[in-house]
């Protein structure tokens, strides 16, 4: 059986042969490192002792990275059996089969210090379901890290021939501007601890090839530069439910 790709999972367009390559490794490091750093910033020295649940695991590459960073209790949830099978080759995390839309997730309620949900909410007809349900599975003081495509002018230019990079994923039915996700988080009882646009300069052809090495030479963080960060691939938020703040 070829497990480089789960053909039943059309929500995830990645291939293991890419992720296993040197280029794929660099891609994943650039994508995940700022997200892991945000978790380390929040949890401090107890980062390796937290219990983390990743919702919508893809092929488990984020879980694998968290494994390598020393987190001892790592879990995942995904609705696609073959994707779970692929992920289990990549990580020692305990992975459950389940869907965000299920009445009850197949994981422990109030059982996790951190829940991550990366590039998933844009696949939902009603993304508020995730923000409403996830609070049930967090411990007191727990946080949520959620990422989604950064809908800005460069993203909307993706369909222009010879200029944009067309979105290859037909299940991106709810790509929204950052203001939408901020409002959704606040309406569902979260405070926004941190947000950023990252982690790749993309969407438009040629621009990343020019700007990425330029900012590397200048030792500047392109995620923090207005206008430039409109070209970033993702909008990322670290959220904490207000009702679960420590007393």
Per-residue pLDDT of the chain (247 residues), as tens digits, is 456 888 899 898 888 998 889 988 888 888 899 999 999 999 999 999 999 999 999 999 999 999 999 999 999 999 999 999 999 999 999 999 999 999 999 999 999 999 999 999 999 999 999 999 999 999 999 999 999 998 887 777 777 777 777 777 889 999 999 999 999 999 999 999 999 987 766 666 666 667 777 877 888 877 777 777 777 789 999 999 996 555 4
Between CA 90 and CA 76 the distance in angstroms is: 12
Q: Is residue 17 part of a domain?
A: no
Q: Is residue 159 part of a domain?
A: yes
Q: Is residue 15 part of a domain?
A: no
Between CA 197 and CA 210 the distance in angstroms is: 19
Total structural domains within the chain: 1
How many other β-carbons are positioned within 10 Å of the β-carbon of residue 44? 7
Supply the pTM of this predicted model.
0.90
Q: Is residue 10 part of a domain?
A: no
Q: Is residue 74 part of a domain?
A: yes
Predicted confidence at residue 243, as pLDDT, reads 67
Q: Is residue 128 part of a domain?
A: yes
Paired with 117 in beta bridges are 55, 146
Predicted confidence at residue 152, as pLDDT, reads 82
CA nearest to 236, candidates 153, 152, 172, 178: 178
Domain that holds residue 185: 23-244
- List phi, psi (to 5°) of 97: -90, 120
Per DSSP, the three-state class of 164 is: strand
Predicted confidence at residue 95, as pLDDT, reads 98
CA nearest to 234, candidates 184, 187, 172: 172
Biggest CA pair distance of the chain: 55
CATH number for position 179: 3.40.50.150
Between CA 66 and CA 60 the distance in angstroms is: 10
Helix/strand number for the chain, H first, E second? 8, 7
Q: Is residue 11 part of a domain?
A: no
Between CA 195 and CA 198 the distance in angstroms is: 10
Tell me the pairing of strands 94-97 and 138-149: unpaired
Q: Is residue 114 part of a domain?
A: yes
Give the model confidence (pLDDT) of 88-139 as tens digits: 999 999 999 999 999 999 999 999 999 999 999 999 999 999 999 999 999 9
């Amino acid at each position: 059986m070829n497990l480089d790709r789960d053909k039943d999972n059309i929500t995830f367009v990645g291939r293991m042969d890419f992720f296993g390559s040197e280029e794929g490794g660099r891609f994943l490091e650039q994508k995940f490192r700022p997200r892991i750093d945000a978790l380390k910033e929040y949890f401090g020295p107890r980062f390796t002792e937290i219990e983390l649940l990743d919702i919508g695991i893809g092929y488990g590459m984020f879980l694998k990275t968290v494994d390598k960073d020393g987190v001892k209790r790592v879990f995942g949830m995904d609705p696609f059996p073959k994707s779970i099978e692929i992920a289990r080759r990549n990580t020692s995390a305990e992975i459950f089969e389940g869907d965000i839309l299920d009445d009850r997730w197949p994981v422990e309620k109030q059982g996790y210090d951190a829940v991550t949900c990366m590039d998933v909410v844009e696949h939902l007809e009603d993304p508020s379901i995730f923000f409403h349900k996830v609070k049930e599975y967090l411990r007191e003081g727990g946080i949520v890290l959620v990422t989604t495509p950064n809908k800005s002018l460069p993203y909307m230019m993706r369909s222009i021939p010879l200029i944009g990079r067309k979105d290859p994923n037909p299940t991106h039915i709810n790509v929204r501007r950052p203001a939408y996700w901020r409002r959704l988080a606040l309406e569902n009882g979260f405070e926004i601890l941190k947000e950023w646009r990252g982690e790749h300069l993309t969407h438009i052809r040629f621009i990343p090839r020019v700007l990425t090495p330029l900012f590397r030479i200048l030792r500047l963080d392109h995620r923090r530069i207005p206008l430039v960060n409109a070209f970033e691939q993702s909008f990322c938020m670290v959220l904490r439910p207000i009702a679960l703040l420590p007393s």
